[in-house]
Structures are given as C-alpha cells and as structure tokens.
Amino acid sequence: MPSKTLADKNAGGGLEPGLSGWRAGTVIAGAALLVFFSAFSPRGFVFHAGRLDLSLPEMAAAVFLATVLIWIAGGWRRWVAGGSRPAGRRFLALDLAVLAFTASNFLSIAAATDKGSAFAFALRMLYLGGIYFGVSRLPPRAGVSIILPSALTAALLTVTAIGWLENFLPPPARGLLVEPFQENVTSFDAFYNLRVSSTLGFPTTLSMYLELAMPVALVLGLRLSLHEKRQWRGRLLLLPTAGAAAAVMAVQLFTYTRSAMAAAPFSLLLGAAIALVCGLGRRVIIPFCLSAAVLVAPLGALAAFSEPMSARLGLAQELPRYNAEYAPLQMPGGFDRAACYAAVIRVRNTGTATWGARGSAVEEVFLTYRWLSYPAGKEQLDVPFLATYMPADIPPGGETDLNASFITPSLAGKYILEFDLVQPQWGWFSSTGVRALEYAVDFPANGVSSPLSTEASTTRYEGLGAAAADVPRGQLWRAAVDMMLDHPLLGVGADQFRNTYAGYVGVSPADRLSTHNIFLEASANTGLLGLAAMLYLLGAAGWTQWRLARDLRGSRGVRLLALGLLTGLTAYVVHGLVDSFLWQTGVSFLFFSLLGLTSWLKRNQLL
C-alpha cells in the first residue's frame, strides 16, 4: 500500500490543519508581511487605544493572531465533527516553551505597580506567540522554507541599502530617500558618531536585527547555489550572496555596536564549526568563515585609522561630533511678559562636525530657545518657535555671533530661559550632554521682570542625581538582581524594570532603560518563573535547530536553514548578555518568526 503524502498526513485538522483557499493565502501573506514589518514601521506611526500604544507591526500581528485563532478553531471543529484524532499531530517542546513564556508575562502582571503598562507588554508577548504559532502551522505545500527566508532577505537587503544611503549620501539626497523609514528616535551617544539607526530606532537594535537575519539570508543564497545542477551557475550565484553578506557587514560596522563586533563573528565561526561537525561541506564552511572575516578585518583597520571607531572600542579618547560653547554678548536687563526680545549670542563649534547654514549641503544646525518652569516641575512652556540659522557653514573651531529672538511667557512666575543649538536629525545639543546657555527669570504679577541671573545653570539640576543614560551596566545588573531577590517568584511585573530601577540606583528614571541582559531582564520583570521560561525557550529552540542541522535523513535545504537559524540564535544569546531586545518591535517580531520557522521545519520532519 503506498505511503501517504505529506499533504495527506497534514489534512486531519486540529492544530495541524492543511490550509486551503483564503485561509492559506491569508496566513502565508501575513507571515511574509510580518517579516517585512519587523524591519519597517513607516514614520513611527502609533495608534493610541487608552493606555495601549500599537505600532503598525503590532497591529499587523493582532490581525495575524486573529487569523491564526480562526484557523485553529476551524481545525478543532472539523476534528470534533469527524470524531477522529488528527493524523501526525505532535506537541513540540518549543510549543510548550512559547506558551510558558507568554504565560509568565501575564502571571507577573499581578506583581506590577503599573498594571496597565504590564498588561500592554504581556499583550505584545501574546502577539509574538501568535506569530510563532502562525508560522509554525503553515502547510507543507506553502513552501515556507523559501517564502519566509526570501521575505526576510528582501527586508534585510532593504535595511542594508538604507544604511549605506544614510552614511554615504549628502544630507539633502539622504533625507529624501531615508526619511520615510525614520522613527524620529534620537539615538543615545548620537553626537559622538554617525550611527546607522533609521529603520530600527537605535543602532543596537538594528545591529541585533542584522545578526539574526544575516545567517538565514546567507544560507538561502548557499541553498540556491548548491541546488543548481550546473556547477558554473552555482558558483555564479555565490557572487551576489558574498556581495550581500559584505554589504550587511559594512552596515554592521557603522552601527558602532561593540557587543555586535564580538557576537556576530563568534556566531558565524560557530556556524562554520557546526557545519563541519554536521558534514555540510566546505562550500558552506568557507562562506561562514569569510563572512566573519569581512567584519573582523575592516574592524581592525577602522580601529587603527578611524578616530570614532578607535574611541568606540576604548582605544582612544573620543571627540564629540556635536559640541558647542556659548558666550552672551548682549542680553536685555529686564522685560515684560508676552513680548518679543533679542539677544546677541556668540556660539563656537567645539565638535568635529560642520554646522550647516539653512539650505546647506552639510547637516543644518540652528539656535533656538525654550522656557522651563522653575524651580518646581521644570516643564517646558508652550511658546512660539523661533529659530536663528547660521549665516554660513561653521567648521570645527569656527564661531559666529547670532541675533537670537525670543518671546517671553504670558503668565507670572519663575522660569528658566534656555538657549540651545539643534541639529534636526539628532535633536537638542543639550540632550547629548552639551551644556545649554541658561538664565533664571522672575516675572512678577505686576511690572517688569527682575534682572537676569545665571543661578539656573547650577540649581536647575539639584536633586536630580545622575542622568539615566549615564548609569553603568554594572549598576543596572545589580539592580536587576536586587529586584529578583526582593520579588523572587513573579518579579516586579512585565516590563516594569524601567519604572523601578531608579529607586535601586539613585537616578531619575528614563522612559526606556532595560537591564541590558536578556536573562536579568526576565529575572527582574517576571521572576524565577519567567527566567525558567526564557531558558526553556532558548534551550528548546537551540536543541531543535541542532538536531535538524545534523539529521542526515533530512534534505540539505532544511539542514542549511537550521544551521542559519542556530547561528542567529547564538548571536541573540551572546549579544543578549549585554543588551535586551524584546521590548523592540522589529527584533522581537523577527525573532519569533524565526522560532516559528524552526518549529515548522521540525513539525514537517515528524509528519
């Protein structure tokens, strides 16, 4: 009797239904779109629903989750109606790991002080679980082993192209091409280096995205090359594969992410070692080794000849990209409320970047002002915006006198008048550590304001402690351990470390500051239960990928994909020792898409 085909085995319904018609099209298209949206969230669009903020990728995930639930419900309905157990259904360890991870985040809500934000984060983890189950249950005939890696590769190459544009095109042309993908997030340390960050908010998260996607894209190119029957065509296909790998590694360098400089080549060399152990041949081993060398060799050259890179690696003192000194030449001695005045201020460029005049070919810089309530609150007042542009490009070491106009507040009270330079792409100079020019002003209920003083320059920051961005990782790690010891079972609540760490390290809290370690993040936020779920998730994924890669009975294409997935997982864990990423939409969606692809490969091996 002939054996059943893979599609026949998978047609029993339940959790393993064979999709057909609109269901197949919806789920397959949703999986490909999620891979694309993991890289791009145009213009940082966010939909506000009460206390829950949803980005475009998160809304796409919600729709995809609903599709998966309808699909699973239909499969169970067919099973119940048929009265027989679906054939080939296996409950994988990775399924249980994803469910445990999702459950740990929801359980920890009970321990959270801010239950609204904890629920929002747990709901996003539910979306990630939906992505996993949706991808893992795609039908065998969908060709997921080609569709998903191809979509991932297309998104990766687009990200790479944007990175090249951001670094090597002049600002006017770069703005037209890159601006639609920017999320309007100012990178920390932005005034030190030009770091690629347009598509994924922060350079470190873009770096992690490249580390996850690069090995899968590499093995897809190798798979196409090795499957080509004519040898010359196979070798020809290796050229674009090698070129794409080199382009991705170049962008990786320009993220200036030190942890990636170690994690990326380590994971690729480990991938080469796994390929050797699994007998995948030198045509796989050599490209993995060369990809690591493409990152390490230029890194050594940049460390020797590039001041920003050598400073980033701690080999030299880093000069700020944007830095300034202010000298007031003429200021009003007093003024009325709701009136317009002017001050003459000399600004000196003490950074390494040229300040562009309006419409210049270099990056534009202008002087503006703001009023802050003082001493309580230090909130910015809503006053008309007035910008004073450079009369000409100001090179490093140059200076100019600016006639800066400003409008006074309409209400009586004590305020700080602050003059600050702005570079539109990076934001206020003061946000990167440059001291603004500040004056304290007292507007009485009647009459002219009291004389200006510079007391605000020292008193504004009293009691604020250190800036959050300056907290060393070691202090954050100790804070995470202390939180886990104080709340061992459930932690402080999903995504609540950022709301709690300030009390442990004695700083003013930032909106988003993580533990910078995936294991400590799980421990602090979700306790020992969450840490166990995280370890189980990573262990189940790694073990599944390893077994697929070394399974001599499997096809060469599946073994190659498993190798790429395991290499990306290794990079995630190694880089995760000094950073955490699940709060970031792009990286988390990509990570769970790859987990789903892992499960899909294993599930179809069992059928």
Based on the domain organization, do 286 and 382 belong to the same domain?
Answer: no
Q: What is the pLDDT of residue 22?
A: 59
| Interval 527-547: pLDDT, tens | 999 999 999 999 999 999 999
Based on the domain organization, do 300 and 337 belong to the same domain?
Answer: no
Residue 403 lies in a domain: yes
Burial letters 186-225, b for 16+ CB under 10 A, else e: bbbbbbbbbbbbbbbbbbbbbbbbbbbbbbbbbbbbbbbb
| Domain count for the chain | 2
Q: How many percent of the chain have pLDDT more than 90?
A: 27
Based on the domain organization, do 288 and 186 belong to the same domain?
Answer: yes
Based on the domain organization, do 289 and 172 belong to the same domain?
Answer: yes
Based on the domain organization, do 342 and 300 belong to the same domain?
Answer: no
Based on the domain organization, do 192 and 131 belong to the same domain?
Answer: yes
Least confident of 12-16, 114-118, 131-135, 216-220: 12-16
| Interval 260-307: pLDDT, tens | 989 999 999 999 999 999 998 888 999 999 999 988 888 888 777 777
Q: What is the pLDDT of residue 163?
A: 80
Number of H helices, E strands in the chain: 18, 10
Based on the domain organization, do 295 and 189 belong to the same domain?
Answer: yes
Residue 102 lies in a domain: yes
Based on the domain organization, do 296 and 347 belong to the same domain?
Answer: no
Based on the domain organization, do 259 and 336 belong to the same domain?
Answer: no
Q: If DSSP states are collapsed to H, E and C, what string results for 122-187?
A: HHHHHHHHHHHHHHHCCCHHHCHHHHHHHHHHHHHHHHHHHHHHHHHCCHHHHHHHHHHHCCCCCC
Based on the domain organization, do 265 and 381 belong to the same domain?
Answer: no
Based on the domain organization, do 54 and 167 belong to the same domain?
Answer: yes
| Domain termination residue (choose one: 451, 475, 499) | 451
Least confident of 32-46, 316-330, 410-424: 32-46
Closest CA to 529 of 563, 566, 484: 484
CATH number at residue 416: 2.60.40.10
Based on the domain organization, do 291 and 414 belong to the same domain?
Answer: no
Query: Domain containing 402: what range?
Result: 332-451
Residue 471 lies in a domain: no
Residue 267 lies in a domain: yes
Residue 467 lies in a domain: no
Residue 76 lies in a domain: no
Residue 337 lies in a domain: yes
| Interval 566-592: pLDDT, tens | 999 999 999 999 998 887 778 888 899
Give the predicted TM-score (pTM) of the model: 0.74
| Domain termination residue (choose one: 387, 422, 451) | 451
CA 196 – CA 215 distance, rounded (Å): 20
Residue 95 lies in a domain: yes
